[in-house]
Chain A
């Protein structure tokens, strides 16, 4: 039979002549390749290379440092994605695995990542003795631990909420597990995953900067990157260099956003499940460019073919497991066995921690650490309240004006991504100059990078506020405080809570770098749990690091359970708009 079909005709008639978009697409692609090779090349060098070519404050080196930083970021995000797919799938598909994996994930996301740097660095260096790659892995791992958990949660949540009719359709058409994963589950989870990946990236810059210059006890390891450049500039009290670092960081985030995330967001728009075509679809010039570049697409056709054919393969097991085995596997006895095994493992873990911490720590010290945690908590609470009072009205004002919101929203997201630790030195200089009390004035640094989450979520909430409700309230002349209380605050509350959860978690984490700040030889310390962990890390005092991290995790978990979760549930049940 001959095929005469519009779908195929359209492809046949397309011109084979390259167009201007091809030139642009090729340029971009190959420039990226070259940069990758340059950056990756040094990763496999022996570790002595790090000391033989020390970091230089010459701004000419900054592009290369920036590249190294970006590559670390990219590696971490890929690792996070792989982790997300495996862990999320396991937790969602296996009831028994989910029983254990989900609580673990919940705790993991409350653990202050920065506190663990000392462990991971020594661990990875032992894995690759004498190689730069070990340290690189440690840094990547630090970024990974700041990114993976919320992505995994988002994926797990999506897997659990796949629409029943699509699920039934794919089952009744007998799609295999592999096909269902790639054709249904991954696409369905895509919008949430892309959004959470973006959030993770925003948070990640902070950690990449913090993890490039690591000192554990007497050894200080600096990986070439923007973070170590900044660290050196702080040591040398070089304001000019810090200015350069800030500038390059801004540029890097901007480029990352334009080249990676805009296209991703624009592309993932097609995975939204709502069947109506309403709303403005997000766009990306890069995606448009690639879509227009004919020759470019033609050359990559074989690759796209393979990539798109793989998810369509059946990949089924050739033989089904015998029914008898299946019924044993599903029985209550295996459940019980599983519970016993998990309980045994948990007991062993507890014993392990206890034997590690109890070697030199006493009761009073533990109490003291709890007290330090309380001090840090007071800081977090006060600063969150301040940030709320400042940013909620501003966010509402902006969000209700679409023209302004359109301009400001990217800026707020951008500020959230900017690693606040780069500009800590400015604050230190000011505190020293005015002889201010570090216990108070170092604290704002904790929310410096995280407050923007509140701002841009509130803007999003106010922008989404239904027009008819605004009109109705102006018709009924609801104004002043009662307008705030009855109309807009309930409207933006769910969005505010979302932003505040991220901001408060981030602030706890930031306290580890914010409660201790250096400028040359000047060292400022605020009394709190963050500085306790930071000092223990510098002293390579492992039992105290573990204790500090455990107490901070406990605080974060309690904070989440007792405050944020109830608020979130409240926002979901009472204040939903529709």
Chain B
């Protein structure tokens, strides 16, 4: 069986090209603001017979790319072809599995699976028969007449797979299909899909899957495209030649995972620290987009880093495992620490700085003082708010004063998220106070 697998990869070059994306660009316009470039110069080719993974942080544009390939979304520029023809709308021969399952709650499992065939106008009897086959294949027999709300999450996603497979797609697109499931359920379902694939029983010719889970990508894909953020680009392409079934403990597997971690946290050449930080969060200066990370999480990660066995320095995959977090949950926390100079990120490692260690050993008041100092020094927006409040005789300023300025640089959603991040950090640091009802900042000490 493993030989078959190898043949599949080796002879791939002769397989027909399904998706051909060249120099594609996706831009969102927002009022007078500078355009938001989500994808820039993206080129992707997908052939029949392979599983391709799109790996990247959340917000890097993976879902956008998937939607453009599927025809749900029109690209702003560039070539997008499906089976040699330009994509103008949802394409035939494509099907999709959704992170949220996207099942119709009012239809039974059987009816949900049939829906793709209804759209093709398949006659009732054949429709029923093919749907039942797909349901059998995916391990749902006995649940044909159940409604989605009666099923567990894993079972619901199986319905999602059956619905996508029943049309015998040439390409099955999957947008983080396992990330709404708990760890065990996700693993079972992944294994089942991979087993069907290597046995050649999966009625899909090829798969394109989006994920932010590095191990998942290495476990399933023949080829992994790593996305960088802001704007989204294909930063690297990695071929995975490991034989199926793959073993997570296999040293080769671990090496590949570590390598990808390193690529995703790659440090720019020395002397460009400022640039590197700006890479972490889109935008610079006041317009830097900040993630809404609670101060509890920040101190939690610092404490975990300072404690045994890490003693101030840890491998990202290790500490992610210990804290039971996915990469894209851990990255923003680590990067916020880096922004505040409490930690440094380098080649897949995270290391506490001296100040970071000092922070961990301090009492609450000292921690707040340190945090406030760093906030003003390294987060321009926090410094701006503080300065405006200091300068105004009333020591008050409305929320909109800052949010509107932010919206010159960021989308509305991002501006809101950035504001709420800076509000929560500022409150913790007692840098300023904020009244959510009056939507106003002030300097008065809330205590």
By secondary structure, the A interface counts as: helix
- Shortest Cβ distance from residue B91 to the other chain A in the assembled complex, whole angstroms: 8
B435 to chain A, nearest CB (A): 14
Known A-B contacts A166-B104, A276-B149; the reply to A309 vs B119 at CB < 8 A is no
* 0 or 1 for each of A375-389: is its CB under 8 Å from B? (1 = yes): 000000000000000
User: Quick check: A176 and B119 within 8 Å, CB to CB?
Assistant: yes
Indicate if A314 sits at the interface (CB-CB under 8 A).
Answer: yes
Known: A6-B141, A172-B90, A174-B90. A314 touches B132 (CB 8 A): no
Q: Is B27 an interface residue (CB 8 A)?
A: no
Q: Which residues of B contact A273 (CB under 8 A)?
A: 105
| CA–CA, A174 and B101, complex, Å | 17
B149 / chain A contacts, CB cutoff of 8 Å: 274-277
Pick out which of these stretches binds chain A: B92-100, B290-298, B313-321.
B92-100
**Assuming the A-B contacts A7-B132, A168-B72, are A187 and B106 also in contact, with contact meaning beta carbons closer than 8 angstroms in the complex?**
yes
Question: Quick check: A165 and B98 within 8 Å, CB to CB?
Answer: yes
**Smallest Cβ distance from B64 to chain A, in angstroms?**
13
The digit string for A149-173, where 1 denotes a CB below 8 A from any CB of B, is 0000000000000010110111111
- For chain A residues 258-277, which have a beta carbon within 8 Å of chain B? 270-277
Cβ-based interface call for A175 (8 A): yes
- Chain A residue contacts of B141, Cβ below 8 A: 5-6
On whether the beta carbons of B129 and A1 are closer than 8 Å, the reply is yes
Query: Which residue in chain A gives the minimum CB-CB distance to B110?
Result: A7
Task: For chain B, residues 98 to 128, give those with C-beta under 8 angstroms from any C-beta of chain A.
Answer: 98, 100-102, 104-107, 110, 115-116, 118-121, 124
Q: Measured between alpha carbons, how far is A187 from B90 in the docked complex, in Å? A: 23
Contact B105 A270 (CB under 8 A): yes
Contact between chains at A5 and B144 (CB < 8 Å): yes
Query: Which residue of chain A has its CB nearest to the CB of B100?
Result: A165
- Chain A, residue nearest B167 (CB): A173
Q: How far is the CA of A3 from the CA of B132 in the complex (A)?
A: 9
Check A171 against B144 for contact (C-beta < 8 Å).
Answer: no
> How many angstroms between the C-alpha atoms of A5 and B119 in the bound complex?
24
**Closest B residue to A10 using CB positions:** B145
Q: What distance in Å separates the Cβ of A459 from its nearest Cβ neighbour in chain B?
A: 27
- Is residue B261 contacting chain A, with contact meaning CB distance below 8 A? no
Could you say which residues of chain B place their CB within 8 Å of the CB of A276?
149
**What are 11 A-B residue pairs whose CB atoms fall within 8 Å in the complex?**
A3-B129, A10-B145, A166-B104, A172-B71, A173-B95, A174-B119, A183-B107, A274-B105, A309-B124, A312-B118, A574-B437
The residue of chain A having its C-beta at the shortest distance from the C-beta of B88 within the complex is A323
Chain A positions near chain B (C-beta within 8 angstroms): 1, 3, 5-7, 10, 163, 165-166, 168-176, 179, 183-184, 187, 190, 270-277, 309, 312-314, 574
Chain B residues closer than 8 Å to A165, beta-carbon distance: 98, 100-102
Known A168-B67, A168-B98, A183-B107; 15 more pairs at CB < 8 Å: A3-B129, A168-B102, A169-B98, A169-B102, A172-B96, A174-B92, A174-B119, A176-B119, A179-B119, A190-B106, A270-B105, A274-B149, A275-B148, A309-B124, A312-B118
Task: Name which of B96, B110, B124 has the most chain A CB atoms within 10 A of its CB.
Answer: B96
When chains A and B are docked, how far (Å) is the Cα of A543 from the Cα of B229? 67
**B373 CB–A CB distance under 8 Å:** no
Q: List, in ascending order, chain B residues with CB within 8 A of A179's CB.
A: 118-119
Q: How far, in angstroms, from A174 to B124 measured CA to CA in the complex?
A: 18
Asked if A275 contacts B115 (CB within 8 A), the reply is: no
Please, how many angstroms separate the alpha-carbon atoms of A171 and B94 in the complex?
11
Chain B residue numbers with a CB within 8 Å of A170 are 115
Residue on B nearest A273 in the bound complex, by CB: B105
B195 CB–A CB distance under 8 Å: no
Q: Is the CB of B105 within 8 A of A272?
A: yes
Residue of A nearest to B71 (CB): A172
Closest Cβ neighbor of B121 among chain A residues: A314
| Alpha-carbon distance A213/B124, docked complex (angstroms) | 52
List A contacts of B393 (CB < 8 A).
Answer: none
Kindly list the 5 A-B residue pairs having the minimum CB-CB distance in the complex, ordered from nearest.
Answer: A165-B102, A169-B102, A7-B144, A173-B116, A172-B96
Of B102, B121, B144, B147, the residue contacting A166 (CB under 8 A) is B102
Bound complex: CA A273 to CA B94 (Å): 26
Which chain B residue lies CB-closest to A169?
Answer: B102
Q: Is B442 an interface residue (CB 8 A)?
A: no
Q: Does B142 contact A (CB under 8 A)?
A: yes
- CB contacts (< 8 Å) of A190 on chain B: these are 106
Across the interface, which residues of A come within 8 angstroms of B119, CB to CB? 173-176, 179, 314
- Across-interface contacts of B142 in A (CB, < 8 A): 6
B252 within 8 A of A: no
CB distance from B209 to the nearest CB of A (A): 15
Is B228 part of the contact surface with A, judged by Cβ < 8 Å? no
Contact indicator B92/A6 (Cβ below 8 Å): no
Contacts of A271 in B (CB 8 A): 105-106
